[in-house]
Amino acid sequence: MSISHEPDDADSLIQFGMLSPVIDGWSEAYLDEHEPWFTFCRDLNEAVMKLFMDHWRDGEGGLSKALYPTAARIFGRAMNAHVSAILLCERGLAIDAAGLARSISESSFWLAYMAQKADQALSDLDADDIKNQIAREKELQRVSDNQPETIVDSKAREAVLETRLAGRKPPAIGAIAKEYGPSNGYLNYRIMSGFYSHVSQASLRHNFLPTGDKTGMNILGPHSKEIPAALYFAASSLIDCAGAYAAIVEDANAVATFVEAQSALDKLRDENMPMRDPEQSD
């Protein structure tokens, strides 16, 4: 199926950008062109929903910060990000979908950490949260130099937080990924960061359309050629999340299911995702 252009399409796109109703008509073409990827991701969504629903009440009645409920929330957030990535790709917003895939990847590292060293991982997650709260208090103090009462209150909260932190130094996400994540997990995370998420010359190339020798124009999108890469990263990261979560809840059948899912995804990648420079966009 090809994308058609009506005379008034340009006016609609100029007025509404990527929210233009014109994109609604293009979505069918994206779904058709990249059907194997959308089908795989929707099937994966069903598989992770089953795993989540099979164990969503594990640990019920315990502390909300205990292993099972914490892992379930991390897994659930990753599942929602995966669904969001699918919906973005349906509108050709693949660069933004790949940014969501990066957050799924980060979730997978924490879940893998919890699957192997639960108590230490939970302590580090708590310490990381407190460390960020302390950083926010320090920033509040910096911007409140003419509000002494605000500074006093903030420093009091900071002192309480420092006591709770108790000198703990949570590891950086890269250290967690390298130690507990899959062998290529942190590499993929860096690719998603550099080419899609972070503001960089590499990621900004997606918003530039070459029109001739050393010339071009800035664009908003769509970036339909990046749909396979975005869905691959989102699906692969979610499979890592699901495998780790299945290990945490000791569901051996689910662990095997997602090992098979990764093999199927790798086969899909090899057959349907041509090797191309991620710096080259639509």
Residue 154 domain-assigned (yes or no): no
Q: Check residue 281 and give its pLDDT.
A: 45
Residue 133 makes CB contacts below 8 A (sequence gap 6+) with 161
With 90 as the cut, is the pLDDT of residue 121 above it? yes
Q: What is the mean pLDDT of the chain?
A: 92
Q: Check residue 274 and give its pLDDT.
A: 63
Over range 214-242, report the average pLDDT. 94
Residue 159 domain-assigned (yes or no): no
Residue 172 domain-assigned (yes or no): no
With 70 as the cut, is the pLDDT of residue 160 above it? yes
The model's pTM is 0.90
Residue 225 domain-assigned (yes or no): yes
With 90 as the cut, is the pLDDT of residue 260 above it? yes
Confidence of residue 1 (pLDDT cuts 50, 70, 90): very low
What's the farthest any 2 CA atoms get from each other in the chain? Answer: 65
Q: Check residue 215 and give its pLDDT.
A: 83
Percent of the chain with pLDDT over 90: 75
With 90 as the cut, is the pLDDT of residue 7 above it? no
Residue 56 domain-assigned (yes or no): yes
Which of the two residues, 103 and 278, has the higher pLDDT score?
A: 103
With 90 as the cut, is the pLDDT of residue 126 above it? yes
Residue 133 domain-assigned (yes or no): no
Residue 175 domain-assigned (yes or no): no
With 50 as the cut, is the pLDDT of residue 282 above it? no
Percent of the chain with pLDDT over 70: 94
Q: Check residue 276 and give its pLDDT.
A: 54
Over range 256-281, report the average pLDDT. 82
- Where in the sequence is the domain holding 207, given as residue range(s)? 19-119+185-272
Residue 140 domain-assigned (yes or no): no
Confidence of residue 261 (pLDDT cuts 50, 70, 90): very high
Tens of pLDDT, residue by residue over 10-49, are: 889 889 988 999 998 899 999 999 999 999 999 999 999 9
Q: Number of structural domains, the chain?
A: 1
